[in-house]
């Protein structure tokens, strides 16, 4: 008996030892450097642990920025969306690109030092909500860490780019993907996943930086109560759910923001939307904790510390996943250590970083989903009219599922005290899908994305769907009010960089890289970059010269030309002339469908195709073909070979045979032909 008991104790001890984390690195990029990055370096996604994206460099200023020019540029080998912020350490610039590839350049000359390709299968595209993007790498010790779209966490050698270890870390590759930048501290690598449009159960986990072994994992939503709860935080959260939520995962994925705060030893992260979006589809009532929240856990153990839910009862895809910035601000005469956040729901939040206590909030764009925010608790009072699934009618809600502000990083200047938010201004007509059933392929949101084709929307015309726009907003996080704003004609403009030279840099959807004065928002300089920009710029210095770097490559109104651009004072570099814009002329075959086919095709398109090919068959994303222009429309057989047989699966267009029959594909073809003819008749392109 005794021996046996000892054996068990030894096993438990061994298991505990196995979980003992490696010590943090003492060479290369260390915790101390990440806490206070050397002036000329940019060591993690948000520059250092504070995630302020503020460069203390002062060579480029509001006085001389007009003399900034291109120092060097590098063409990237994929023309999908680029979302990464470059990192710079010890004279080397590290980036990740679409399909989770990593490249290292000489930061002064632009010479390529090495490139790593994890060879993500292109079919993975169907499991990623929003393109094959990657937001960046982490540097730690002598390694580079990257998460891959198909759910691997990979450690590379900083010098050679060789793989040190690689582990599949997601629970399954059907519902989970990784696009976020890992963060590092205390010998650990922190990463979560995407997947809340599929059947993912959100989590964040810590992995040993040396071995890749999992050290702890914190789920953001409860699992099936019948299986027991992992911890008391899950048990508590389960009380805020009804129905069979776990069958569809529940969502709440940690797909972007992770902030390690050394002052509190907490890891703060933002959670994504509840899944499915439409709560009625899973019999869901209540707050659905901890979705659309900021959550804090102990960095050593992953134990729950606090949470603050920004969007209760999320049904609009109001992720709270956007970057969380830590700052010390004077509020009411007191120094407060705060967490600053501008989530998709359109309110800016200032919270106590140690306790999560609500300090203040204010709307930074027009919104109508909340009637207001409780001044004491910070809880939003939901506008009943925004609960679209209750009425079953179309509910125009602002902001929308692409967010008042999403992953495009904001920045904070301690010099001005302001936050620079790349914001979106938009309304979307939410409509619950009727007779919805879960499926194995595509988004499982249970919304009707054929909503724009509905007779009510068609009759209401353009007024019902005003074109979305953007704004660069300078926000005071203490007074909770806007200080200045630059209106931008298109939404989804790039992230921002604030510098000690009284500057804010931002790339735009329409293809300019712009510098504004940080205090007043005066436009001081711009450079045509030939491509939409979504990613955020960063700044570094080598041999006394300050550089500003940014990745270009986004759909949008201009073409996607994916590049790494690096600027400096007196730079004389030139971009090659842009390829000629191909004039888009709609030339569809005649429409021969029936009304029944048209309605069926519209609904199927909204369910299975819109996420990549755009609402109502207009490709806004730009990275995937606009089907109204496709030659495959001419021939039912050709269309079927692509859609049912998966002829283009190696380029990311998988087979939909599991969901669609040939007559369904034909209905979709007829629908797209009708859309193309209607747009042509209106003089559209
Ligand atoms: C996960 C993203 C994704 C989804 C969802 C998707 N597609 Fe595609 N589709 C693509 C990509 C990427 C391509 C381009 C493939 C290539 O370059 O060869 C493409 C190409 C096509 C083409 C060929 C266009 C041309 O002329 O080159 C057709 C037709 C098409 N898709 C139809 C559909 C239909 C119909 C649906 C819904 C049932 C759908 N797609 C859903 C990503 C997607």
Read off the pLDDT of residues 569-600 as tens digits, 9 standing for 90 and up.
999 999 999 888 777 899 999 999 999 999 99
Residue closest by Cα to atom 1 of ligand 1: 126
Q: What is the pLDDT of residue 397?
A: 96
Q: What is the pLDDT of residue 673?
A: 98
State yes or no: pLDDT of 464 exceeds 80.
no
CB 300 within 8 A of CB 265: yes
Token couple for 548: 């500003």
CB 475 within 8 A of CB 419: yes
State yes or no: pLDDT of 128 exceeds 80.
yes
Task: Please report which confidence band the pLDDT of residue 3 belongs to, taking 50, 70 and 90 as the band edges.
Answer: very low
State yes or no: pLDDT of 2 exceeds 60.
no
Instruction: Please provide the average confidence, as pLDDT, over all residues in the chain.
Output: 95
Nearest by Cα to 539 from 520, 563, 565 = 565
Among 128-142, 203-217, 366-380, 460-474, the least confident range: 460-474
Residue with tokens 């930086």: 209
Task: Please report which confidence band the pLDDT of residue 557 belongs to, taking 50, 70 and 90 as the band edges.
Answer: low
Evaluate: CB of 656 within 6 angstroms of ligand 1: yes
Evaluate: CB of 635 within 6 angstroms of ligand 1: no
What average pLDDT does range 149-170 have in this prediction? 98
Cα–Cα distance measured from residue 88 to residue 538, given in angstroms and rounded to the nearest whole number? 9
Evaluate: CB of 632 within 6 angstroms of ligand 1: yes
Tally Cβ neighbours within 10 Å of residue 411: 30
What residues have CB less than 8 Å from 679, skipping those under 6 apart? Answer: 586, 618, 628, 685
Cβ-count burial 596-608 (b if 16+ within 10 Å, e if not): ebbbbbbbbbbbb
Residue 660 alpha carbon, nearest atom of ligand 1? 38
Distance of CA 80 to the CA centre of its chain: 15
Going from the Cα of 407 to the center of ligand 1, the distance in angstroms, rounded, reads 25
Q: What is the pLDDT of residue 586?
A: 94
State yes or no: pLDDT of 11 exceeds 60.
no
What residues have CB less than 8 Å from 329, skipping those under 6 apart? Answer: 335, 336, 338, 350, 417, 477, 478
Q: What is the pLDDT of residue 558?
A: 64
Q: What is the pLDDT of residue 460?
A: 82
Nearest by Cα to 249 from 406, 438, 447 = 438
Going from the Cα of 109 to the center of ligand 1, the distance in angstroms, rounded, reads 39
Going from the Cα of 631 to the center of ligand 1, the distance in angstroms, rounded, reads 12
CB 369 within 8 A of CB 345: yes
State yes or no: pLDDT of 172 exceeds 70.
yes
């Amino acid at each position: 008996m005794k021996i046996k008991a000892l054996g068990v104790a030894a096993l438990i001890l061994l298991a505990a030892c196995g979980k003992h984390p490696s010590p943090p690195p003492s060479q290369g990029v260390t915790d101390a450097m990440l806490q206070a990055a050397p002036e000329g370096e940019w060591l993690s996604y948000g520059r250092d642990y504070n995630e302020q994206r503020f460069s203390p460099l002062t060579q480029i200023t509001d006085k001389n920025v007009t003399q900034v020019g291109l120092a060097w540029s590098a063409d990237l080998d994929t023309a999908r969306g680029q979302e990464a912020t470059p990192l710079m350490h010890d004279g080397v610039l590290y980036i990740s690109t679409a399909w989770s590839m990593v490249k290292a350049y000489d930061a002064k000359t632009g010479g390529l030092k090495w490139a790593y390709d994890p060879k993500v299968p292109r079919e993975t595209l169907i499991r990623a909500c929003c393109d094959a993007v990657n937001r960046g790498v982490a540097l730690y010790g002598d390694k580079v860490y990257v998460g891959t779209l198909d759910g691997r966490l990979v450690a590379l050698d900083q010098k050679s780019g060789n793989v040190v270890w690689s582990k599949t870390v997601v629970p399954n590759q059907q519902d989970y993907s990784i696009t976020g930048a890992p963060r590092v501290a205390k010998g650990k690598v922190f990463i979560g996943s995407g997947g809340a449009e599929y059947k993912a159960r959100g989590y964040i986990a810590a992995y040993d930086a040396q071995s890749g072994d999992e050290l702890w994992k914190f789920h953001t939503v409860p699992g099936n109560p019948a299986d027991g709860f992992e911890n008391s935080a899950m048990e508590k959260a389960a009380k805020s759910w009804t129905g069979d939520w776990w069958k569809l995962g529940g969502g709440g994925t940690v797909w972007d923001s992770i902030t390690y705060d050394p002052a509190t030893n907490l890891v703060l992260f933002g959670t994504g939307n509840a899944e499915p979006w439409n709560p009625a589809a899973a019999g869901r009532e209540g707050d659905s904790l901890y979705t659309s929240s900021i959550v804090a856990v102990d960095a050593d153990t992953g134990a729950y510390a606090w949470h603050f839910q920004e969007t209760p009862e999320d049904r609009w895809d109001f992720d709270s996943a956007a970057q969380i910035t830590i700052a010390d601000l004077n509020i009411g005469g007191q120094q407060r250590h705060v967490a600053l956040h501008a989530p998709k729901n359109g309110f800016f939040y200032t919270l106590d970083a140690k306790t999560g206590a609500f300090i203040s909030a204010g709307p930074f764009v027009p919104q109508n989903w909340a009637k207001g925010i409780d001044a004491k608790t910070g809880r939003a009072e939901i506008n009943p009219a925004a609960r679209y699934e209750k009425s079953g009618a179309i509910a125009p809600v602002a902001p929308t599922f692409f967010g008042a502000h999403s992953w495009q990083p904001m920045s904070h200047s301690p010099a001005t005290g302001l936050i620079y938010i790349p914001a979106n201004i938009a309304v979307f007509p939410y409509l619950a899908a009727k007779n919805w059933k879960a499926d194995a392929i595509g988004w499982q949101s249970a919304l009707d994305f054929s909503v724009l084709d509905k007779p009510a929307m068609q009759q209401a015309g353009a007024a019902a769907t005003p074109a979305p726009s953007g704004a660069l907003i300078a926000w005071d996080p203490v007074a909770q009010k806007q200080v200045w704003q630059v209106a931008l004609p298109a939404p989804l403009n790039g992230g921002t960089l604030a510098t000690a030279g009284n500057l804010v840099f931002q790339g735009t959807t329409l293809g300019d890289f712009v510098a504004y004065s940080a205090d007043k928002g005066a436009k001081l300089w711009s450079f045509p970059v030939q491509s939409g920009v979504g990613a955020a710029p960063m700044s570094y210095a080598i041999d006394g010269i300050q550089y500003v770097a940014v990745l270009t490559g986004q759909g949008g109104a201009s073409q996607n030309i994916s590049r790494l651009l690096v600027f400096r004072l007196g730079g004389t570099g030139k971009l090659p002339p842009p390829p000629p814009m191909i004039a888009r002329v709609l030339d569809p075959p005649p429409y021969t469908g029936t009304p029944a086919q048209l309605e069926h095709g519209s609904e199927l398109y909204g369910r299975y195709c819109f996420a990549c090919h755009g609402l109502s068959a207009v490709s806004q994303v730009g990275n995937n073909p606009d089907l109204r222009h496709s030659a495959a429309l001419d021939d039912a057989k050709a269309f079927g070979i692509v859609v049912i047989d998966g002829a283009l699966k190696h380029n990311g267009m998988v087979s939909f045979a599991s969901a669609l029959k040939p007559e369904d594909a034909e209905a979709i073809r007829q629908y797209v032909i009708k859309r193309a003819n209607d747009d042509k008749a209106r003089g559209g392109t």
